[in-house]
Amino acid sequence: MPLPLFQVDAFTSQPFKGNPAAVCLMDGSREDGWMRDVAAEMNLSETAFLLPRSDGYELRWFTPTVEVALCGHATLASAHVLWETGLLRSAEQARFHTKSGLLTADRREEWIELDLPVKREVQSDPPPDLLEALGCKATYVGKNQFDYLVEVADESSLRALRPDHKRLSSLGVRGVIVTSRGSQGFDFVSRFFAPGSGIDEDPVTGSAHCCLGPYWEAKLGKSEFRAFQASERGGEILVRVEGDRVKLSGKAVTVLRGELA
């Protein structure tokens, strides 16, 4: 039977902004190779695969080349699809069983709030190619289980980055988060580069904010933030740190509905 397939722009209320994710509603288990092939065919930063369970949904995420252990924007897109299609009532919590444990999503009026695990970084010496590949000087470099985190002096430096993606792909990590203090009402801004995972620059990266939230909490002495990811598409995220969890809020809009043969 054909499977319902959606394309959703996450962390935005405008079509063709934010981060696009594909969401596939499955009627049974499929082989990993099939999911990798579908994700490669969709050629988006993430494709989410949802399989119903008695207490929620099994959720897996694939880039065009690899499976990942945590993805915020495709989780937000998945919750949006479940409510939009009526598979969940508007007041019902979305519950996802993932490689990062149980993740939940709740509707807060026009916002969707995700409950994700903190991914704190620790200060780290940068590998030789990191800053050269980014083409910048760093005020701080850290690393968590997924990514390097690089703080630069200001937002203009961050926006001017034109990395050497081939060199970044050799670092042996999922990706590189670059951040600075923000402007125009945003507490901080960021960009995310992951050529080693098949994505040169990710438009809006929820999982990166599982690191950015606690990082800026320690620097700014507060736990709630308005953040902006300064990619070409751009996207806004509300961030709240609560102990070992991060609450990320964003909006989403469906831009395509179809069937996977």
Candidate list 31, 41, 46, 109, residue with the active-site label:
46
Based on the residue annotation, tell me whether 46 is a catalytic residue of this protein.
Answer: yes
Phi (first) and psi of residue 111, to 5 degrees = -100, 155
Contact between 49 and 35 under an 8 Å Cβ cutoff? The reply is: yes
Sole residue written with tokens 């207490």: 55
**Cβ(54)–Cβ(226) below 8 Å:** no
| DSSP codes joined into one string, 4-65 | EEEEEEES-SSTTSSEEEEEEE-SS---HHHHHHHHHHHTSSEEEEEEEETTEEEEEEE-SS
> From CA 137, how far away is CA 36, in angstroms rounded?
36
**Would you give the distance in Å from CA 16 to the centre of its chain?**
16
**How far apart are alpha carbons 204 and 84 in whole angstroms?**
22
Which residues are catalytically annotated? 46
